[in-house]
Amino acid sequence: MSVPKAARSRAAALRAELERHNRLYYVEDSPEISDAEYDRLFRELSELEERHPGLRTPDSPTQRVGGAPLAGLEPVRHELPMLSIRTETDTEDTGAASFDARLLRELGADAAPIEYAAELKFDGVAISLLYEDGVLARAATRGDGEVGENVTQSVRTIRDVPLRLKGKAPARLEVRGEIYMNHKDFERLNQRQQAAGAKVFVNPRNAAAGAVRQLDPKLTAQRPLRFFVYGIGVSAGWKLPATQSAVLDALEKFGLPVNDERAVVKGPQGLAEYHRRIGALRERLPFDIDGVVYKVNSIELQSRLGFVAREPRWAVAHKFAAQEEVTRVLGIDVQVGRTGTLTPVARLQPVFVGGVTVTNATLHNEDELRRKDVWIGDSVVVRRAGDVIPEVVGVREQGARLPGERFEMPLRCPVCDSPVVRVPGEAATRCTGGLYCKAQRKQTLLHFAGRRAMDIEGLGERLVDQLVELDLVKNPADLYRLDIATLSGLERMGEKSAQNLFDSIGKSKRTGLARFVFALGIPGVGEEVAKILARHFGSLGKLLDADWAALAAAKEAIRKDNARRKKRDERPLAVPLEGIGPELMESIGKFVHEPHNRAVIARLTDRQDGVVFHNEKTVQRAASAKTFVLTGTLTGMSRDEARAALEAKGHKVSGSVSKSTDFVVAGEDPGSKAEKARDLGVPVIGEKEFLELLQNL
């Protein structure tokens, strides 16, 4: 049915008016109308859309109330990874100076003073918003940086996230920012929760994170979430401004909320002054921050500097000093970790520090405890910064220090009664019980099931405790032998919950090789090392059969050869497993050749009922990897998109041209890099040739 012209016109006017008032209220904090008047306009639009469903558009304010609950959150692969940023924790002067000095070494002293965009480091939840033809098409969490979760329905309910961009928006624009909660809104939320007898949230960040990942967007709509944008990802149909500060100005003109406490400064002195100013302002801000972020302002210089270890060289997060409070030690317990390490933990008189109430704080190990000379009954300084585990900094005032109040490391494991040993040359004391020790088994299973490992949703601490205490699961492979009847017999597990967990365990069988390697819990192997191993070996079989001594010797030989090649100005050879040192290689070798570990891995990958790797592939030889330099403006994709496409295929993108460069990709206005390439005899190709080459790489 056609919609009358008058109704269409009135609906468009109401949509524009309601979004204007949303911005005035949530972004500019200067409302013009009362809540009752806003509700009247909202009801009028809702009734119009009810009478004429053809008027209901994705960017309508009525779509902010939330749709039907979701069965689960779908994975979203970021076209351009959401990278982490290196963190500095030094004072404002030394932290700023060390960052600036690093960049000057990369760019050359003639680049001084470097101009920086200085911004707040919000303590919230990182989010990616994709706009197509100006309309919000998708929202995704950061996840592990490469794969996040689709949270579009939830994010639509956030009032200061524009559903449609203002002005002439790009054909495709991904913006990145932070979802957070104001202090006052958080306090009101907790008052409502308390009055309803519901869960009270620890801090605004946790409340925001839980709200964004709600399966029922109507529940998200009840949380007072807000949003700031701080950068972009992929873009098409938009000529990127020349500086980071200009990018933020442009995003603000599109109607996206950008924080005002940003500045353009020069050199280390400008950075330090900004750090001091924001530090003094921090307590008066209406939301939480845990530091500031410095970014090289020039987009061209950002491109030259590039990335290292999946972090941009051109940006750094400079955190504020950790918050500290004084409290009393009520006792000292011992926790047993996943690798069997015994950690002394102080039980504290509850104290509010760093945004949470702290009741336990780590003492790290026996040596640290002795150095700080902490006894039961002492008054101690406790420190917590961001998500870091609270720690005891030192003793403020000694207690009575009676006999029995001095801590002694136990000679046997407090969980399984196995002997403990002090590792020679290390501060660690470890339980020798292995998976026989239930504490180690529990931690191993929780790590294996974690979101960034096998991602078994619903397998939390309480369930793992039961599975281990009842001896139903002795190692991760046993998880895949559980049936619905066994699961439904556990405490607080109904038939539906058991079915959901069973399905989640089954779903986890299809995973990536890097996730599986990380999930195994090999000492020293985090997510990034697991990705390096997966890329290098390409299959689990090749990883398990690797001769680690030979690999270490080959790496050392190539390094020596490259040192000679550098002197002769020759192209260096690619170093295998770059970023993995000899000690870690030895640790990996020991783990994968230990008979018990081999048996568990064999059961996990059993052909009939085991894990299947959806991205296991033949290894691309390091010798076939090419080095590219991107210069000028590409019309079909941004330089960041081109970089991501090349790196996804195992190739390298450099910021400067040398004899080791294989291709220079020249867009419009390529500049001096193309000329230098021709002088060195390096092939220079246009965008059309590049796209053809990209398909065949």
What residues are annotated to the active site?
Answer: 121
What global pTM score does this model have?
0.61
Alpha helices (H) in 402-471, listed in sequence order = 438-449, 461-469
pLDDT at 614: 65
Q: What angle in degrees, to the nearest 10, is found between the helix axes of 5-26 and 35-51?
A: 150
The CA-atom distances, in angstroms, between 274 and each of 181, 322, 323, 442 are 24, 18, 20, 45
Residue 439 and residue 171: Cα distance in Å, rounded? 53
| 384 beta partners | 323
Closest CA to 445 of 431, 465, 425: 465
- Residue 309's pLDDT is 58
Residues 6+ apart with CB under 8 A from 345: 332, 333, 334, 335, 360, 361, 362, 363
Tokens representing residue 446 in the block: 């929780």
Query: What is the pLDDT, as a whole number, of residue 386?
Result: 54
123 touches 319 (CB < 8 A): no
**Domains assigned to the chain:** 5-65 (1.10.287.610), 87-319 (3.30.470.30), 324-431 (2.40.50.140), 434-508 (1.10.150.20), 513-613 (1.10.150.20), 625-696 (3.40.50.10190)
pLDDT score of 451: 86
Look-up of token digits 């005891």: 392
CB atoms within 10 A of CB 545: 11
Buried b (16+ CB within 10 A) or exposed e, 475-502: bbbbbbebeeebbbebeebeeeebebbb
Contacts of 467 (CB under 8 A, 6+ apart): 445, 473, 482, 490
The per-residue b/e assignment along 289-298, b for 16 or more CB within 10 angstroms, e otherwise, is bbbbbbbbbb
CA 483 to chain centre: 34
Contact assessment for residue 363 and residue 343, using Cβ atoms and an 8 Å cutoff:
yes
For residue 273, the SS3 value is helix
Q: Measure the CA angle with vertex 383, ends 289 and 522; round to 5°.
A: 90
How many residues are recorded in the chain? 697
| Residue the block writes with tokens 């690798």 | 339
Who's near 204: CB < 8 A, 6+ residues apart?
A: 123, 124, 180, 181, 182, 183, 186, 287, 288, 355
Task: Identify the burial level of 406 via C-beta atoms within 10 angstroms of its C-beta, where 0-12 means exposed, 13-18 middle and 19 or more buried.
Answer: middle
CB proximity list for 352: less than 8 A, separation 6 or greater: 325, 358
CA distances from residue 470 to 474, 475, 489, 633 in whole angstroms, order as listed? 10, 13, 11, 62
The three state secondary structure string of 577-606 is CCCCCHHHHHHHHHHHHCHHHHHHHHHHCC
For 178, the 3-state DSSP assignment is strand
Q: Which residues pair with 307 in a beta bridge?
A: 312
Q: What is the dihedral of CA 579, 580, 583, 586, to 10 degrees?
A: -170
pLDDT at 156: 92
List the chain residues with pLDDT less than 50: 617-623
pLDDT, residue 621, reads 38
Please state, as a whole number, how many other Cβ atoms lie within 10 Å of the Cβ of residue 71.
8
Q: Using DSSP, state whether 364 is helix, strand or coil.
A: coil
Alpha-carbon span 590 to 574, nearest angstrom: 26
CA distances from 641 to 127, 242, 406, 634 (A): 18, 17, 59, 10
Handedness of CA 478, 483, 489, 492 (dihedral sign): positive
Q: Which two tokens stand for residue 17?
A: 């008016």
Q: What is the pLDDT of residue 199?
A: 80
Assess contact for 297 and 115: CB atoms under 8 A.
Answer: yes
Instruction: List pLDDT tens digits, range 415-444.
Output: 988 888 887 777 889 888 877 889 999 999
Token code pair at residue 649: 């295929």
CA-only gyration radius of the chain, Å: 28
Q: Which is nearest to 290 in space by CA: 216, 388, 200?
A: 388
